[in-house]
Amino acid sequence: MRHIDIETLVSHVEGPVLRPGDESYDEERTGFNLAVRHRPDVIVGATRAEDVQAAVRFAAEHGLPVAVQATGHGYSVPAEGGLLITTGRMSGVDVDPAARTVTVEAGVRFEQVIPETVPYGLAPLNGSAPHVGVVSYVLGGGIGLLVRSFGYAADQVRSMDVVTADGSLRHVTADSEPDLYWALLGGRDNFGIVTRLRMGLVPVARLYGGGIFYDAEAAPDVLRAYLRWTAGLPQEMNSSVALIPMPDVEEVPEPMRGRHIYHVRIAFTGSQEEGERLVAPLRDTAGPALFDALREMPYAQSASIHDDPPVAVPFLREVALFEGLGDEALGTVLEHAGPQATVPCVVELRHLGGALAAAPAHPNAVSHREAQYILSVVTLLFGGTEKESRPVLQRLFDALEPWSTGRSLNFMGYGENAGRERVRTAYTPEVIKRLGEIKAAHDPENLFRLNYNIPPRGTGDGGRATV
Ligand SMILES: Cc1cc2nc3c(=O)[nH]c(=O)nc-3n(C[C@H](O)[C@H](O)[C@H](O)COP(=O)(O)OP(=O)(O)OC[C@H]3O[C@@H](n4cnc5c(N)ncnc54)[C@H](O)[C@@H]3O)c2cc1C
């Protein structure tokens, strides 16, 4: 560990500044995914934009690469050395019901936003899990519960306050800083650290939705029935299906305990009557359900649709987007990641399309708008190790390559998954070229490289890719 004099940094920062060996160093760097952790030389627990500025300036002066963490749900390249900015203390939320917007600080999670917007009959375009951080989710595109109805969450962004690599704090809108606005939405922290973000809300106060559960042994055709059902649905119908190996523990209700379960999730923004009519063909063809919990619900209960556990776990994830999927591809998924897989896999298929294809009011770098499905597979690393899980995911996604059209940044995973060639698959060639040019203009030294890195275009190897 190199010696770094942090006294000047401490004097400019309101939040804690931590070094390895300090009492709260380990707690501060630990996030939701327990399989990975940053091991920086210095952590700055930012409480305000000025702390982020001081940290970025200090890092630039000392040649330290910068990583940023809100909740640790989405690790990419774990820092080995360098400077980590944690944003959990930046927790301000401000709703403007007349303008239908919410402004959030860098550390805010969706569970802090939803209770503030629902009293006005408004909802953010949140994802499945309310414990995910808003800023990173949105900058990565944001494939939400209502993705078919309203498209990518990133398209709702009105402004961002950003600390760029030169340490300045900029107010970025599509008009004031068109390049940075375009690049941040899709290129994330390659272009700076967002300290505050304002985004539009949608007028959704209620849903017809929830989950239908099937025993995968008694209803083996759920995945195929689901895929057939999704053809020709209106864009108000949002849905996904997951194949989940339920743990064999007392907390899991008896009929699901220790079994593989299909969990179909529905979020329909139309009427209950119409929702029931649309779901009927799926109910008729999927097989016998264990529980059918579709219902009329206030948006405040939308987290119950996926019911993602808020408990930190070690996991590895891979993802692919598809413009079309057929029985052969589904067979490949089940062969590699189904109940017979050598490591337990959580398989999730979400229906995209609908409003995802619409051009945003202000263009941004989020790509693959033509995607119709997103498949992500998670392996939990409790009993086994990453060494056993990686090859399973690798074999599956290699086999799916002929059908896949790219990846989504938000679900891409860490370590090898964050390699340069993988990162390119999150964008179209034109987008990656322009991102590289904007990176060269705003971060030529690649200070922000502990991420899904976009190398500065025209700098040989594209800047230093590692610490
Ligand atoms: C259980 C679970 C459910 C999920 N559901 C969905 C979903 O429904 N839809 C979806 O699209 N995604 C989903 N995701 C993926 C999630 O959106 C991404 O992993 C996202 O990056 C998490 O952000 P975070 O702040 O919570 O995590 P962190 O690990 O804290 O941040 C991830 C990365 O974001 C960048 N970043 C963080 N803060 C900033 C900042 N202030 N400025 C610039 N860059 C920053 C950094 O590169 C950081 O490493 C889910 C993930 C999990 C684990």
User: Mean pLDDT, to the nearest integer, of 145-156?
Assistant: 98
CATH of the domain spanning 206-413:
3.40.462.20
Of the candidates 417, 400, 339, the residue with the CA atom closest to the CA atom of residue 35: 417
Would you state the pLDDT for residue 4?
74
b/e per residue, 413-422, with b = 16+ CB within 10 A? bbeebbeeeb
- Binding site membership of 193 for ligand 1 (Cβ less than 6 Å): yes
Non-local CB neighbours of 159 within 8 Å, separated by 6+ positions:
171, 172, 173, 197, 198
Residue whose pair of structure tokens reads 């949002």 in the numeric block: 238
The whole-angstrom distance between residue 421's C-alpha and the CA centroid of its chain comes to 19
Instruction: Determine which residue's CA is closest to atom 41 belonging to ligand 1.
Output: 194
Q: Which CATH number fits domain 93-200: 3.40.50.700, 3.20.20.70, 3.30.365.10, 3.30.465.10?
A: 3.30.465.10
Of the candidates 190, 191, 156, 153, the residue with the CA atom closest to the CA atom of residue 174: 156
User: Mean pLDDT, to the nearest integer, of 253-278?
Assistant: 96
The CA distances from residue 317 to 139, 298, 325, 386, in Å, are 19, 31, 20, 11
Instruction: Determine which residue's CA is closest to atom 44 belonging to ligand 1.
Output: 189
Question: Which pTM was predicted?
Answer: 0.97
- Binding site membership of 106 for ligand 1 (Cβ less than 6 Å): yes
User: Mean pLDDT, to the nearest integer, of 282-292?
Assistant: 96
Would you call 270 exposed, middle or buried from its count of C-beta atoms within 10 A (0-12, 13-18, 19+)? middle
Give the Å distance between the CA of 407 and the centre of ligand 1: 15
More reliable by pLDDT, 384 or 339: 339
Domain ranges for the chain, please list them: 3-86, 93-200, 206-413
Residue 464 confidence class, pLDDT cut points 50, 70, 90: very low
User: Which ligand 1 atom minimizes the distance to the CA of 141?
Assistant: 11
Give the Cα separation of 250 and 153 in Å (integer).
Answer: 37
Would you state the pLDDT for residue 458?
86
For residue 313, the SS3 value is: strand
Would you state the pLDDT for residue 145?
98
Q: Are 383 and 110 in contact (CB under 8 A)?
A: no
- Binding site membership of 142 for ligand 1 (Cβ less than 6 Å): yes
Would you state the pLDDT for residue 2?
58
Give residue-wise pLDDT tens across range 81-139: 999 999 999 999 999 999 999 999 999 999 999 999 999 999 999 999 999 999 999 99
- Binding site membership of 109 for ligand 1 (Cβ less than 6 Å): no
The CA distances from residue 263 to 163, 175, 210, 239, 306, in Å, are 41, 43, 10, 11, 8
Give percent of the chain above pLDDT 70. 97
Give the Cα separation of 344 and 332 in Å (integer).
Answer: 16
Give residue-wise pLDDT tens across range 305-357: 999 999 999 999 999 999 999 999 999 999 999 999 999 999 999 999 999 99
Give the Cα separation of 256 and 214 in Å (integer).
Answer: 9
Residue 424 confidence class, pLDDT cut points 50, 70, 90: very high
Give the Å distance between the CA of 281 and the centre of ligand 1: 35
Provide the total of helices (H) and of strands (E) in the chain, helices listed first: 13, 18
- Binding site membership of 74 for ligand 1 (Cβ less than 6 Å): yes
Give the Cα separation of 382 and 52 in Å (integer).
Answer: 35
For residue 384, pLDDT over 80 is answered with no
Would you state the pLDDT for residue 5?
82
Would you state the pLDDT for residue 460?
56
* CATH level 2 (architecture), domain 3-86: 2-Layer Sandwich (3.30)
Q: Which residue of 38, 73, 263 sits with most ligand 1 atoms within 8 Å of its CB, as the best mutation to test the pocket?
A: 73
When the pLDDT of each residue in the chain is averaged and rounded to a whole number, the result is: 95
Give the Cα separation of 227 and 151 in Å (integer).
Answer: 20
Pairing of strands 291-292, 206-215: antiparallel
First to last CA, the chain: 12
Give percent of the chain above pLDDT 90. 92
The CA distances from residue 340 to 254, 256, 298, 344, in Å, are 21, 17, 38, 9
Q: Are 169 and 329 in contact (CB under 8 A)?
A: no
- 84 phi and psi, to 5 degrees? -110, 130
For residue 371, pLDDT over 60 is answered with yes
User: Mean pLDDT, to the nearest integer, of 174-178?
Assistant: 98
User: Mean pLDDT, to the nearest integer, of 155-176?
Assistant: 98
Give the Å distance between the CA of 132 and the centre of ligand 1: 6
- Binding site membership of 138 for ligand 1 (Cβ less than 6 Å): no
For residue 3, pLDDT over 70 is answered with no
Q: Are 378 and 315 in contact (CB under 8 A)?
A: yes
For residue 1, pLDDT over 60 is answered with no
Instruction: Determine which residue's CA is closest to atom 36 belonging to ligand 1.
Output: 136
User: Mean pLDDT, to the nearest integer, of 279-287?
Assistant: 97
Instruction: Determine which residue's CA is closest to atom 28 belonging to ligand 1.
Output: 72
Which has the minimum average pLDDT: 16-30, 173-187, 383-397?
Answer: 383-397
Q: What is the DSSP letter of 173?
A: -
Instruction: Determine which residue's CA is closest to atom 25 belonging to ligand 1.
Output: 133
Would you state the pLDDT for residue 308?
93
Give the Å distance between the CA of 427 and the centre of ligand 1: 18
For residue 466, pLDDT over 70 is answered with no
Residue 462 confidence class, pLDDT cut points 50, 70, 90: very low
Give the Å distance between the CA of 73 and the centre of ligand 1: 5
Would you state the pLDDT for residue 467?
32
User: Mean pLDDT, to the nearest integer, of 441-446?
Assistant: 97
For residue 364, pLDDT over 70 is answered with yes
User: Mean pLDDT, to the nearest integer, of 349-369?
Assistant: 97
Rounded to whole angstroms, the maximal C-alpha distance in the chain is 67
b/e per residue, 120-130, with b = 16+ CB within 10 A? bbbbbbbbbbb
Would you state the pLDDT for residue 465?
41
